[in-house]
Homo-oligomer: A and B are copies of this chain.
Amino acid sequence: MAQSLEMRFSGWGIDADAGDLSDHVVEWLEARFGGPLPQRVAAPESENVRIRKSQLPRAVEAKLSSKLGAANVSTDHLSRLVHAAGKGYPDLLAMRGADKIPAPDAVVYPADQADVKAVLKICTKHGVAVVPFGGGTSVVGGVSPLRGNFASVIALDLRRMRSLISLDEQSRIGVFAAGLRGPELEHLLRSRGYTLGHFPQSFEYSTVGGWVATRSAGQASAGYGRIDEKLLGARLVAPAGELNLTARPASAAGPDLRAIVAGSEGALGVITEASLEISPAPEVTRYEALMMPSFAAAAEALRALEQQGQAPDVARASDESETEMGLAFAGIEGAKGKLLEGYLRGRGAGSGALLVLGWEGPHGTIDDRRRAALSLIKPHGAVGLGAGAGRTWAKNRFSTPYLRDHLLDRGVMVETLETSTTWANLMVVYRGVGDALAQHAPVVGCHISHLYQSGASLYFTFVAPQSAADPLSQWEAAKHEACRAIIEHGGTITHHHAIGVDHRRYLKAEDGEAGVAALRAVKQSLDPRGLMNPGKLL
């Protein structure tokens, strides 16, 4: 296997960055926490982490090997370890615990649709649970190697399926193999003059199949749309059959099966291909930062932009707390942030809400759109910080995940969660969830980053000194209170992270008894033995 596709098991990215938090950040955190951070404790080396012996029967391994080739069925320590978890906070905690880590009993790497079918057939016959594995960037336990009622479980890693299967320029449809990751996909498209325009923060490692399976939303969703809005067709191989949905612009032929594939989270089958709407690659990209007098004013400005058809392609408004946090942390990422600091010093820290806007498109369209947008938000009190600050954000937008590892090294719990609701209800949910989190973390920030006619997303970050005794329970308590607040105040339990393990107990509050029963019926139909990703989603 090409190891370069594999992140290190205990954190983000490929190389453990030797760096540490800057003094500035440490000071800032210590001031908030009211005490010193512990000394740096790095994550363990992979060979020092203990995982259970593989439970996959030899006969099954032999069958898989004879179908896929022995090189494509791995039971070695490292392969199993890197497929043992996603990248949520509890995942990273477990990996740092270095002991009794549940891991898949084997990792298989199919080359194509036929291989996937063969694997599911073997697993059905022998009662082996299957966890579809894309980039492994799930933050909700989506790739945890749960085995349900089965004695063994494999991770089915789609990394060998990474082609651009076809490109229909006239209809602007790309058909992609499920294992393609962000950078490679964009490279393939850009060389033909197109972009998918899908940039989740996990872009560098997450995959087409993972995006569709989780109904992912990228940072430029205001302009290019969510992945489920771009999904025109798909292939999903399930134990009991196959969905092969041809790319179609629109149809009234009964309920839309694409909406069953999107969000299926590996629990219904393996997505092998997706037909997605693509866009011309932008000729110009322009980012810009502004300061708003308050988060509420920023939200109103974004609502005006969206509802008047003037939304930029990227739109992100941080609340006062996140704005301050962003400045404090900017040092780490090499950004200067001088302008911002000057501005905040002038007004008093904590009083402004940072707004980042980005436009992408052909020459000659950006200026007009930008002008129209800026004139709309001016009445809401926007003060320009210039393109420099905007570019800094754009440059660093995929680097935050690395920061999390540094914080963990220093005994800091940092976690995010997200929801969406209507504009009318946005500040209600914002306050409700914020208050709940404030019980558990001295630092809580929030931003809006996805806009809709009817509402927007809210993305919370909370930071606290890690409980040395029981960090998992500490996280669980905060997470649970936040989820309860989301539900109580009418938000969705997840706007783009999916259900996985973590949100499973809240699904009924969202879909109701009858809704969950209907989804279970779909699962029963496609996966009657229940081997697909047990313990997730449903």
Interface residues of A in 482-538 (CB under 8 A from B): 490, 492-499, 503, 507, 510-515, 517-522, 524-526, 537-538
Asked if A158 lies at the interface with its beta carbon under 8 angstroms from chain B, I say: no
Tell me the bound Cα distance from A510 to B422 in angstroms: 35
Give chain B residues whose Cβ lies under 8 Å from the Cβ of A254. 263-265, 498-499, 507, 511, 519, 537-538
Q: Are A422 and B171 in contact (CB under 8 A)?
A: yes
Q: Are B492 and A251 in contact (CB under 8 A)?
A: yes
Give chain B residues whose Cβ lies under 8 Å from the Cβ of A499. 252-254
Give chain B residues whose Cβ lies under 8 Å from the Cβ of A498. 252-254
Partner pick for A256 among B171, B172, B228, CB 8 A cutoff: B228
Interface residues of A in 251-267 (CB under 8 A from B): 251-265
Closest to A455 in B: B249
Interface residues of A in 444-458 (CB under 8 A from B): 450, 452-457
Partner pick for A512 among B244, B250, B277, CB 8 A cutoff: B244
Tell me the bound Cα distance from A490 to B275 in angstroms: 15
Given the known inter-chain contacts A497-B252, A503-B253, please indicate yes or no for A515 contacting B247, CB distance below 8 A.
no
Q: Are A492 and B253 in contact (CB under 8 A)?
A: yes
In angstroms, how far is the closest chain B Cβ from the Cβ of A403? 24
Q: Are A253 and B518 in contact (CB under 8 A)?
A: no
Q: Are A513 and B253 in contact (CB under 8 A)?
A: no
Q: Are B253 and A454 in contact (CB under 8 A)?
A: no
Tell me the bound Cα distance from A154 to B473 in angstroms: 56
Give chain B residues whose Cβ lies under 8 Å from the Cβ of A492. 248, 250-253
Bitwise interface map of A from 418 to 451 toward B, beta carbon under 8 Å scored 1, else 0: 0011111100000000000000000000000010
Q: Are B452 and A242 in contact (CB under 8 A)?
A: no
Asked if A479 lies at the interface with its beta carbon under 8 angstroms from chain B, I say: no
Given the known inter-chain contacts A240-B514, A453-B277, please indicate yes or no for A250 contacting B226, CB distance below 8 A.
yes
In angstroms, how far is the closest chain B Cβ from the Cβ of A253? 5
Asked if A215 lies at the interface with its beta carbon under 8 angstroms from chain B, I say: yes
* Most B CB within 10 A of own CB, among A216, A251, A254, A265: A254
Give chain B residues whose Cβ lies under 8 Å from the Cβ of A248. 420-422, 455, 492
Give chain B residues whose Cβ lies under 8 Å from the Cβ of A238. 514
Give chain B residues whose Cβ lies under 8 Å from the Cβ of A250. 217, 226, 420, 450, 452, 455, 457, 492, 495-496
Asked if A245 lies at the interface with its beta carbon under 8 angstroms from chain B, I say: yes
In angstroms, how far is the closest chain B Cβ from the Cβ of A128? 21
Asked if A48 lies at the interface with its beta carbon under 8 angstroms from chain B, I say: no
Tell me the bound Cα distance from A421 to B262 in angstroms: 21
In angstroms, how far is the closest chain B Cβ from the Cβ of A229? 9
Give chain B residues whose Cβ lies under 8 Å from the Cβ of A496. 250, 252
Give chain B residues whose Cβ lies under 8 Å from the Cβ of A401. none
Tell me the bound Cα distance from A514 to B120 in angstroms: 15
Chain multiplicity (copies): 2
Q: Are A518 and B172 in contact (CB under 8 A)?
A: no
In angstroms, how far is the closest chain B Cβ from the Cβ of A223? 11
Give chain B residues whose Cβ lies under 8 Å from the Cβ of A226. 250
Closest to A258 in B: B259
Interface residues of A in 209-223 (CB under 8 A from B): 214-217
Q: Are A242 and B522 in contact (CB under 8 A)?
A: no
Asked if A243 lies at the interface with its beta carbon under 8 angstroms from chain B, I say: yes
Give chain B residues whose Cβ lies under 8 Å from the Cβ of A217. 250, 252
Q: Are B171 and A423 in contact (CB under 8 A)?
A: yes
Interface residues of A in 14-39 (CB under 8 A from B): none
Q: Are A494 and B242 in contact (CB under 8 A)?
A: no
In angstroms, how far is the closest chain B Cβ from the Cβ of A372? 11
Q: Are B263 and A252 in contact (CB under 8 A)?
A: yes
Give chain B residues whose Cβ lies under 8 Å from the Cβ of A422. 168, 170-171, 173, 247-249
Q: Are A424 and B251 in contact (CB under 8 A)?
A: no
Given the known inter-chain contacts A422-B168, A424-B168, A454-B232, please indicate yes or no for A252 contacting B515, CB distance below 8 A.
no
Give chain B residues whose Cβ lies under 8 Å from the Cβ of A515. 243, 245, 257
Tell me the bound Cα distance from A251 to B254 in angstroms: 22
Partner pick for A255 among B253, B263, B454, B495, CB 8 A cutoff: B263
Q: Are A518 and B525 in contact (CB under 8 A)?
A: yes
Q: Are B171 and A260 in contact (CB under 8 A)?
A: no
Tell me the bound Cα distance from A493 to B512 in angstroms: 32
Known: A249-B452, A251-B494, A255-B261. 16 other contacts (CB 8 A): A171-B455, A215-B252, A243-B511, A243-B512, A243-B518, A250-B457, A250-B496, A251-B492, A254-B499, A254-B519, A255-B522, A258-B259, A277-B453, A514-B526, A520-B525, A521-B521
Closest 4 CB pairs of A and B: A241-B514, A259-B259, A249-B455, A249-B452
